[in-house]
Amino acid sequence: MLRFTGLANQDRRRRLEEALLPTLVALLVALVCGELLILAHGESPAEVYRELLQGTWGNAYGLGQVLFKATTLTFTGLAVGLGLRAGLFNIGAESQLAAGGFAAALTGLALPSGTPALAAIPVCLLAAILGGGLVGAVPGVLKAKFGAHEVIVTIMLNFVVLAALNWVVVAHLHVPESVHTPEIHAGGLAKLSRIFPSFHGSAANLSLVVALLTVIGTAFVLFRTRFGFDLRAVGLQPDAAEYGGVRPSRIYLLALTFSGALAGLGGINSVLGYHGYYEDGFAGGAGFLGIAVALVGRNDPFGIALAALFFATLSQGGLAIHALVPRQMMEVLQAIVIIAVAASVPEVRRILRLARRPRPTIDRSSTASTAADGPAGPQEPGVNVSAGHGGSR
């Protein structure tokens, strides 16, 4: 029993090292490259990084903006990470995010203005889940039934869905001289400034709480349920999973549908929590950045939440340091982090395997015995060692 516990602890430590070390190496590489870029621009790296931290985590407004941006990135990162756990690359989080936000806005417009928040908010959340899940189910069905590659389908759906939503808003639902819908009647989420006045002016809202609950729920489903086990098994080895009784086609359909639902739920951050209406283009690339968040977070829900905070800090920090260096420098750092993570994962794993490889040990007692018996070792009576092959005459 003790031996089994020890092996389990070793395996847990090994997985933790392989999950954290590549990200830490990537962050170190990005930090060094950032310093070189800042020096090339003629500024002090220490001063720039100080302004970055002061403009993000050093004041309530900056922190609120970081939390607001991290909320959407958490949803899109979870969407991409869930697909990757199943061996699927969902690049359609951008359109799924927009579809979820649009569905939530339509529901908020359809509800009467006097609808209680306890009834309106869950209905709007469900609408966002269904909107994103419906878009995610399209590549899921095509993958499960016809073997269509999810990367191609989700990329093309981004253009189709975003163009369709643009047409609906501009042609039928927009407020004059704008590209957004009227304000929702019910289902809005309160901003954090109503609870914590120090966040006054920031866009952070109670979608953050929904994001945290979603992180916990996704982790539970992935690592504590039979469906999560089947999903991860298919992602690691679909043939072996099928031999064990799992239908990969079913997992593909459900994984892409749930992935789309997670991305769609992210639409509530802007629609229900900040603007109070759907605005064309509100996603702003958050769906695509969710790919980087999932990659840096190593497809772990809690790692994705931390990676979302990191990328949100860089995004907001670009505004804080704009007086010293161009804000595009933060986008360069984001790209460096992504490249460094992709490059460091196999190299770090190789180094860890070499470090864990057991080293050959020398039996000192056997060596001492051999030295005492002479170079040829102990001899049996009647055996002539000088006979070439050790045979007897």
Instruction: Tell me the pLDDT band of 371, cut-offs 50, 70 and 90.
Output: low
Q: Is 215 exposed, middle or buried (0-12, 13-18, 19+ CB in 10 A)?
A: buried
Amino acid at residue number 46:
A
The rounded distance, in Å, linking the Cα atoms of 208 and 269 is 8
Task: Please say whether the beta carbons of 285 and 66 come within 8 A.
Answer: no
Instruction: Tell me the pLDDT band of 85, cut-offs 50, 70 and 90.
Output: very high
Q: What is the pTM of this model?
A: 0.86
Residue matched to tokens 């009227």: 182
Q: Which residues pair with 180 in a beta bridge?
A: 279
DSSP state of 286: H
In the predicted model, is pLDDT for residue 389 greater than 70? Answer: no
Q: Which of 4-8, 255-259, 388-392 has the lowest mean pLDDT?
A: 388-392
Q: What phi, psi does 302 have (nearest 5°)?
A: -75, -35
Task: Please say whether the beta carbons of 222 and 85 come within 8 A.
Answer: yes
Q: Is 156 exposed, middle or buried (0-12, 13-18, 19+ CB in 10 A)?
A: middle
Average pLDDT over residues 262-270: 97
The rounded distance, in Å, linking the Cα atoms of 176 and 98 is 21
Q: Structural domains in the chain?
A: 44-324 (1.10.3470)
Instruction: Tell me the pLDDT band of 11, cut-offs 50, 70 and 90.
Output: low
What is the C-alpha radius of gyration for the chain, rounded to an integer number of angstroms? 28
Helix axis angle, 117-146 to 248-265, nearest 10° = 140
Tell me what pLDDT residue 392 has. 41
Tell me what pLDDT residue 21 has. 80
The rounded distance, in Å, linking the Cα atoms of 173 and 177 is 12
Average pLDDT, the chain: 88
Instruction: Tell me the pLDDT band of 386, cut-offs 50, 70 and 90.
Output: very low
The rounded distance, in Å, linking the Cα atoms of 316 and 53 is 10
Tell me what pLDDT residue 391 has. 44
The rounded distance, in Å, linking the Cα atoms of 132 and 102 is 9
Task: Please say whether the beta carbons of 135 and 159 come within 8 A.
Answer: no
- pLDDT > 90 fraction of the chain, expressed in percent and rounded: 67
In the predicted model, is pLDDT for residue 213 greater than 60? Answer: yes
Instruction: Give every CB contact of residue 94 below 8 A, 6+ residues apart in sequence.
Output: 76, 158, 162, 283, 285, 286, 287, 288
